[in-house]
Amino acid sequence: MCDSVITLPNPAAEPGGLAASVAKVFRQVSSSEPRLKPFQLGSIPIDPPLLLAPMAGHTHVGFRTLVRELGACGLVCSELISSHVLEHNPKSRQTRDLFDWSPAEWPFAVQLFGSVPQEMATAARLVVEAGAPIVDINMGCWVPKVAKKGCGAALLSDLLKAEAVVRAVCEAVDVPVTVKVRIGFEQGKPTAVSFAQAAANAGAKLITVHGRYAKQGFKGQSDHSVTAKVKETVGSSMAVIANGDIVDTESARMVLQETGCDGLMLGRECLRRPWILAKMAHELCGKPLPDARFHPARIARRQFELTRTLVKKPEKVVVRELRGQLLPYRLGAPTDHNRPERTELEMELRERLVKAETFEQMEQFLLEAEEKTWAK
Ligand SMILES: Cc1cc2nc3c(=O)[nH]c(=O)nc-3n(C[C@H](O)[C@H](O)[C@H](O)COP(=O)(O)O)c2cc1C
């Protein structure tokens, strides 16, 4: 059964086949790995507790569906949506594009950001009415456009307001509310521990901790010792998910051990290897699953197909965005190396990819890439 998952039969030809078989493999796997126990968010099972991180510009419904199909992904999350825009300009095109979830993705979270409790409450009600089974509050975004307005990670330097936002959202909706934070705002001032306790008291059911301060952006390495303190503090009152620089089974194992957390969230590595959660789930249970068993160009083509079908934007826009979304695969590069040098084939494919203008050209390119990289 494993082999059919790994060598990737055309998932389009077998609706449900791929995801169903991985789910079955994972159920056997997760029950034998004590640190990877499924848990419940209210009545929603998070099984396995391996989560795809929200990444604006990448984790649209097409990509999320791909990761789900590849297996071992317990929860996905929408890109961040502004509560201010939702309340004041709910019909804006940009915001409507972000309402892209489909019931097939269940369970999924819809992420909101904002700093005004009443606006966040209204936005939460709106997304729940539109089908969101979980609402996630962004308190990790560090980009000035968000943080300068007191939203995202800036809330970590105003814990009273942060708690008021969580409380308002929890009181507004009857679905589980989760929060995603950095370890603090200013470097060296870890506020995530006291915030986590306040968030649990206010009704949040899960907290994801990215092990960097907001002021670091993406610099330096994640420090998971604060996440360990968060878990120690909140105990079983709230699930704790560790995030940041988890890129392979070894780092996953180390973070699980260091933090005692309930699950892991992966971001950038999923863009490079969308099958990483499936690989990790197997390997955490001592079942090696080499990258060579996956075929990146074929998976990239599946991402293209899902994106073309599910993302409701004009063709030109989808193709332009896909160029950037498919680059991290590094088609033509050896997959079993961490940071391989660019080969001639990779350079050639990269050049072709960024020139694709239409769905037809993109599909043709991906078919050729698949042929050229087969068994490489
Ligand atoms: C391109 C990009 C977009 C991101 N967008 C969001 C977002 O919309 N909401 C959010 O909470 N975090 C966002 N993040 C942060 C990730 O969810 C994650 O916390 C971070 O990348 C660290 O995890 P990693 O080391 O596994 O990538 C984004 C990260 C990247 C690289």
Looking up tokens 């929200």, which residue turns up?
54
303 and 181 fall within a common domain? no
Atom of ligand 1 nearest to the CA of 247: 26
Is the CB of 82 within 6 Å of ligand 1?
no
Is the CB of 140 within 6 Å of ligand 1?
yes
How far apart (Å, rounded) are the C-alpha atoms in residues 238 and 205? 5
Largest CA-CA distance found in the chain, in angstroms, rounded: 57
Local confidence pLDDT in tens for the 376 residues of the chain: 233 333 444 443 344 444 555 555 555 555 555 567 999 999 999 999 999 999 999 999 999 999 999 999 999 999 999 999 999 988 888 888 889 998 889 999 999 999 999 999 999 999 999 999 999 999 999 999 999 999 999 999 999 999 999 999 999 999 999 999 999 999 999 999 999 999 999 999 999 999 999 999 999 999 999 999 999 999 999 999 999 999 999 999 999 999 999 999 999 999 999 999 999 998 998 888 888 888 999 999 999 999 999 999 999 999 999 999 999 999 998 776 667 788 899 999 999 999 999 999 999 999 999 999 976 5
237 and 208 fall within a common domain? yes
Could you give the C-alpha distances from 74 to 51, 258, 259, in angstroms and in order?
A: 6, 21, 19
Cβ atoms of 213 and 183 within 8 Å: the answer is yes
Is the CB of 53 within 6 Å of ligand 1?
yes
Final residue before a domain boundary, out of 264, 292, 320: 292
177 and 155 fall within a common domain? yes
269 and 132 fall within a common domain? yes
What residue's CA is closest to ligand 1, atom 30?
Answer: 55
Residue of 265, 260, 277 whose CA lies nearest to 34:
260
Structure tokens at 188: 């060296």
124 and 256 fall within a common domain? yes
Cβ atoms of 211 and 243 within 8 Å: the answer is yes
How far apart (Å, rounded) are the C-alpha atoms in residues 153 and 137? 10
6 and 151 fall within a common domain? yes
What is the pTM assigned to this prediction?
0.93
The catalytic site residues sit at 141
Atom of ligand 1 nearest to the CA of 212: 22
Residue 92 lies in domain: 2-292
Domain count, the chain: 2
Q: CA triplet 51, 294, 79: central angle to 5 degrees?
A: 30
* 3-state percent breakdown (helix, strand, coil) of the chain, nearest 5: 50, 15, 35
How far apart (Å, rounded) are the C-alpha atoms in residues 317 and 126? 27
How far apart (Å, rounded) are the C-alpha atoms in residues 346 and 4? 27
